[in-house]
Amino acid sequence: MNESPQPTAEQPGTPGLSTTPRRLLWLLLALLGAAAVGLGVLIVFLLRPSEAPTSSTILQSAGCPMTIERSIYGIGTDPGDLLLRPMGVALDPDGNVWVADTGHARLLEFDATGTFIREAGEGRLTSPYGLAFDETGSRLYVADWNAHQVLVFSGDGRYIESYPAPDQDLSVFGPVGFTPFEVRAWGAFIVASSNDGLYFFDRDGKVVDYWGTGTRSREVGGFNFPDAFDIDPKLGRFYVADTLNRRVVALDETGNVLWVSGQPDEQGKIVGFWELPRSVAVGPDGNVYVVDTFRFQNECAGTGHIVVLSPEGDLIGEFGAGGPGEDTFNFPEKLAIASNGVFAIADRENGRIALFRLDGLPRVDESETKLYAKSFVRFGGVGP
């Protein structure tokens, strides 16, 4: 079978077209193709994800009592330099920001402007979570639940030691073992929350006291994965985010329960105001700031991720809308508050640490006040 002859200039390949118009057609098609490619490149350029800055600042959002002064995203713009699921934050006496960059199993220090200072903990951490400095700022305590340890670093990031002590009898921690979520230095003790309560260590790393029922429990005085707590040294009070019990508990310095917000109903189901409280911080005003991670309201005032309580447990403020924006929070975790009123929050799914201030106490919606009151109980002091 003979092959069909290929079209030539003298033998047009398209019936009815002469050579010159055909050349013009090919030229036009080439120009259109080039234009299409150029348009595609322009669209990709315009729609590409912008490089995340190492830090940024924004102004106050209209109608919001919160002004975010800076957002810290990492030490650079490469993927390995950006924060990955940051879950913990602490502020040292100089105003520097220490971050538990949990997804990268490391600690990062920044100054108040967001400038990177140093990295610490490399090779020693697995899942850093709660962070806290001692009273002098010379020791940084890191709760690492996956390593089953509280690690101690110097104020400039050098490893010192870890708790519990090597010769500690681990049976004291129950069948699940020691899973520290939060840590605080309190007088002669280092206090850490674990899956079933609060453990008190002496400075030698030995457990000397325990608040809880010996197992995860819904009972008053018991705990179920208390992710966070803070201590008011002036009042000698502990405020605990009893996370999986969906409640917040206040105790005196001997462990007596003062009040509980969030109670089980007759079927044992935890009901009430809270969704998933995961952080607690006592502010310089003495009020208690609770981060409720699953409160996804769209308003920045009246409702929100951060709930403000008085020391006696009264609901006095709510703020912080949910969402993937600079002025919203997306699965917020630990909160720290400096003596000068600067707040720092680990905004986990937004991949940042947000530094902000409040312009007065945020309001509370009336519907929130009624809901809160339904599951609030005050005690005369019930032992753990």
Classify residue 26: in a domain, yes or no: no
Give the number of domains in the chain.
1
For residue 346, the model assigns a pLDDT of 98
Contact indicator for 207, 174 with CB cutoff of 8 Å: no
Give the pLDDT score at 108.
Answer: 99
Q: Which tens digits make up the pLDDT trace of 230-271?
A: 999 999 999 999 999 999 999 999 999 999 999 866 666 666
Model confidence pLDDT, tens digit, residues 285-330:
999 999 999 987 777 877 789 999 999 999 999 999 999 988 899 9
Residue 19 has pLDDT above 90, yes or no: no
Number of other residues whose CB lies within 10 A of the CB of residue 330: 17
Query: Is the model's pLDDT at 13 over the cut of 50?
Result: no
Residue 117 lies in a domain: yes
> Which residues form the domain of 272?
53-382
Establish if 123 belongs to a structural domain.
yes
Asked, for residue 28, whether it belongs to a domain, the answer is: no
- Is there a domain that residue 147 lies in? yes
Please check whether residue 317 lies inside any domain of the structure. yes
What percent of the chain shows pLDDT beyond 70?
A: 81
**pLDDT given at position 73:** 98
pLDDT of residue 26 exceeding 80, the answer is no
Give a yes or no: residue 21 inside a domain: no
pTM higher than 0.95: no
Confidence at residue 10, expressed as pLDDT on a 0 to 100 scale: 34
- pLDDT number for residue 50: 42
> For residue 318, what is the domain's CATH number?
2.120.10.30
Structural domain includes residue 177? yes
